[in-house]
Amino acid sequence: MGAFRLMPFTRVHQNVREYEVFARKARVDSLRQVGSVVAPDDDLARAYARATYDEERWIEMVIVPKESMISLWAPGEDEP
């Protein structure tokens, strides 16, 4: 327990990243965003995504660090 006390608790802080989770059910589908996870590294993000978004038998799942997504425009923002 002693050593644990020195660990910063970092669930939603500097040392963690947010990842968007994408998945699809069938080959004819395209990937769509199904949610997001917050994790300290890619491996844990993979594990969290697999365990959290288990509502379907997805044939594909992909995670992307949110900061890697480049938004060109979005609803509610000024027109491009």
- Site residues, another protein (CB under 8 A): 4-9, 11-12, 33-36, 51-53, 55-56, 74-77
Please name the residue that has the structure tokens 């500097």. Answer: 14
Q: How far is the CB of 51 from another protein (least distance, A)?
A: 7
In this complex, which beta carbon is closest to another protein, that of residue 67 or of residue 77?
A: 77
What contacts 21, CB < 8 A, 6 or more positions away?
Answer: 33, 34, 35, 36, 37, 49, 52, 53, 61, 62, 63
Distance of CA 45 to the CA centre of its chain: 7
In this complex, which beta carbon is closest to another protein, that of residue 6 or of residue 28?
A: 6
User: Tokens standing for 3?
Assistant: 């050593």
Q: How far is the CB of 4 from another protein (least distance, A)?
A: 6
Q: How far is the CB of 35 from another protein (least distance, A)?
A: 7
